[in-house]
Amino acid sequence: MSSTTRPNDTLHMTPTTPWSIRAWPPLLWQAGRESQFHFRHLSTRVTLPGERGTRSAAGQTIWGGHCGDGDAGVAWDWVQISDHVVAMADPMSVVTNLRLVGDEGEVLTALESARFLNEIVHALPWQTEVQRALHVGHA
């Protein structure tokens, strides 16, 4: 354990599934505010290995970060479109423990939160990690 890791830090325990992030304590975050989180890659799994010319690969990726108030995680399913192109399987299905709050202090619905969660995903180098996992699976 490094000196910067707190004993109760959930980020040092890589979640086994994206759904395990839902068990993390909920963390309120002001929607539209620049992210204070510095998300890092926790894991990427290939759940459906692709076969050249017959079907695309698919899997899940998990990212986590810490802000002064606690740890946040985001995870989503991905699909391989072609040899070097991957995309989110469903941009409306980002799993997170973040609870986004609007300007009036109201907790946003899943639909209202989707835009902000996708901005977080878009800012991450997740495609690189997915390509790395795909390469390892085909090595």
User: In angstroms, rounded to a whole number, what is the distance separating the alpha carbons of residues 67 and 48?
Assistant: 33
Q: What mean pLDDT is predicted for residues 117-122?
A: 94
Residues 79 and 87 sit within 8 Å (Cβ to Cβ):
yes
Six token digits for residue 56: 């695309």
Six token digits for residue 98: 């973040």
Q: Report the predicted TM-score, pTM, of the whole model to 2 decimal places.
A: 0.82
More confident of the two residues 119 and 48? 119
Q: How do residues 71-82 score in pLDDT, each as one tens digit?
A: 999 999 999 998
Q: What mean pLDDT is predicted for residues 57-79?
A: 93
Q: Report the topology of domain 10-138.
A: Nuclear Transport Factor 2; Chain: A, (3.10.450)
Q: What mean pLDDT is predicted for residues 53-82?
A: 88
Q: How far is CA 70 from CA 9, 48, 55, 115, 122, in A?
A: 9, 33, 40, 22, 22
The domain segmentation of the chain, as residue ranges, is: 10-138
Residue 112's SS3 state is helix
More confident of the two residues 60 and 67? 60
